[in-house]
């Protein structure tokens, strides 16, 4: 998980996800008040995280000839959570203040 560069305070997954969902809002370290912004890399990564589950779910449903509506939705959600959690550790931030 990502840590604050000045005080080593860990950012929570909830904090990172929330910031990404709210249009890459800046992240405040709750311990030392340092402010971080998302790098361009994060924007690319988050776009991929949003698209990848849908593509993978589509391929799986096609391949195994599964019932479309239910399987596709469940697979997309499961894959999204999995991919989002894995990629959280690769996010990069830049200190702004
Ligand atoms: Zn800090």
Its pTM stands at 0.75
Please report whether residue 39 resides in a domain.
yes
The answer to whether residue 76 is domain-embedded is: yes
pLDDT exceeds 70 at position 33: yes
Burial class (CB in 10 A: 0-12, 13-18, 19+), 53: buried
Residue 3 included in any domain = no
* Structural domain of 28: 13-95
Q: Can you tell me the distance from the alpha carbon of 20 to that of 77, in angstroms, rounded to the nearest whole number?
A: 17
CA of 25 to the centre of ligand 1 (A): 17
Position 14 scores a pLDDT of 87
Q: How many helices (H) and strands (E) does the chain have?
A: 3, 3
In a domain, residue 8? The reply is no
Q: Are 76 and 53 in contact (CB under 8 A)?
A: yes
Residue 63 included in any domain? yes
Give residue-wise pLDDT tens across range 53-64.
999 999 999 899
pLDDT tens across 72-94, in order? 889 999 998 888 888 888 899 99
**Burial category of 83 from C-beta neighbours within 10 Å (exposed 0-12, middle 13-18, buried 19 and up):** middle
- Average pLDDT of the residues of the chain: 90
**Quick check: is 88 in a domain?**
yes
Give the rounded percent of residues in the chain with a pLDDT score beyond 70: 99
**Residues with Cβ–ion distance below 5 A, ligand 1:** 4, 7, 9, 29, 31-32, 34
């Amino acid at each position: 998980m990502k840590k604050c560069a000045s005080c080593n305070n860990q950012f929570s997954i909830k904090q990172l996800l929330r910031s990404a969902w709210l249009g890459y809002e800046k992240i405040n370290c709750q311990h030392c008040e340092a402010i971080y912004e998302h790098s361009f890399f994060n924007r690319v990564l988050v776009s991929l995280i949003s698209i990848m589950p849908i593509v993978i779910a589509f391929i799986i449903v096609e391949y195994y000839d599964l019932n479309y509506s239910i399987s596709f939705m469940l697979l997309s959600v499961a894959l999204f959570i999995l991919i989002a959690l894995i990629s959280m550790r690769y996010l990069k931030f830049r200190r702004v203040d």
